[in-house]
Amino acid sequence: MSIHPTVIVSERAKIAPDVEIGPYCVLEGEVEIGARTVVESHVRIGSRYGQVTIGTDNHIQYGAAIGGPPQDLTYKNGAYTALVIGSHNRIGEFVTIHVGTTKGGGVTRIGDHCFLMAHAHIAHDCQIADHVILVNSAQLGGHVIVEHHALVGGCAIVTQLNRVGAYSFMAVGAMANKDLLPYTIIEGHWATPRAINRVGLKRAGFDAAERRNIDSAIRLLLQRSLTVEEATARIEAECAPSPQIEHLLKFVRGSERGIARG
Residues in the chain: 262
Active site positions, annotated: 124-125, 142
SS (H, E, C) the chain: CEECCCCEECCCCEECCCCEECCCCEECCCEEECCCCEECCCCEECECCEEEEECCCCEECCCCEEEECCCCCCCCCCCCEEEEECCCCEECCCCEEECCCHHHCCEEEECCCCEECCCCEECCCCEECCCCEECCCCEECCCCEECCCCEECCCCEECCCCEECCCCEECCCCEECCEECCCEEEEEECEEEEEECHHHHHHCCCCHHHHHHHHHHHHHHCCCCCCHHHHHHHHHHHCCCCHHHHHHHHHHHCCCCCECCC
58 closest CA partner among 7, 96, 110: 110
Other CB atoms within 10 Å distance of the CB of residue 64:
24
Residues 58 and 139 in one domain: yes
Residues 107 and 231 in one domain: no
- Has residue 258 been placed in a domain? no
Tens-digit pLDDT string for the chain (262 aa):
699 999 999 999 999 999 999 999 999 999 999 999 999 999 999 999 999 999 999 999 999 999 999 999 888 777 899 999 999 999 999 999 999 999 999 999 999 999 999 999 999 999 999 999 999 999 999 999 999 999 999 999 999 999 999 999 999 999 999 999 999 999 999 999 999 999 999 999 999 999 999 999 999 999 999 999 999 999 999 999 999 999 999 999 999 999 999 7
Residues 10 and 131 in one domain: yes
Supply the pLDDT for residue 91: 98
Supply the pLDDT for residue 253: 97
- Has residue 131 been placed in a domain? yes
pTM of the model: 0.96
State how far the Cα of 183 lies from the Cα of 118, in Å rounded to an integer: 25
- Has residue 84 been placed in a domain? yes
Residues 206 and 138 in one domain: no
Domain residues for 231?
Answer: 202-253
CATH of the domain at 116: 2.160.10.10
Residues 86 and 207 in one domain: no
Other CB atoms within 10 Å distance of the CB of residue 212:
14
Residues 105 and 13 in one domain: yes
Q: How many domains does the chain have?
A: 2
Residues 132 and 9 in one domain: yes
Residues 41 and 133 in one domain: yes
Other CB atoms within 10 Å distance of the CB of residue 139:
19
- Has residue 166 been placed in a domain? no
Supply the pLDDT for residue 1: 67
Q: Determine if residue 194 is left, alpha or beta; phi over 0 gives left, psi from -120 to 50 gives alpha, anything else beta.
A: alpha
Other CB atoms within 10 Å distance of the CB of residue 146:
30
Supply the pLDDT for residue 75: 84
Last residue of a domain, one of 117, 143, 169: 143
Last residue of a domain, one of 128, 143, 158: 143
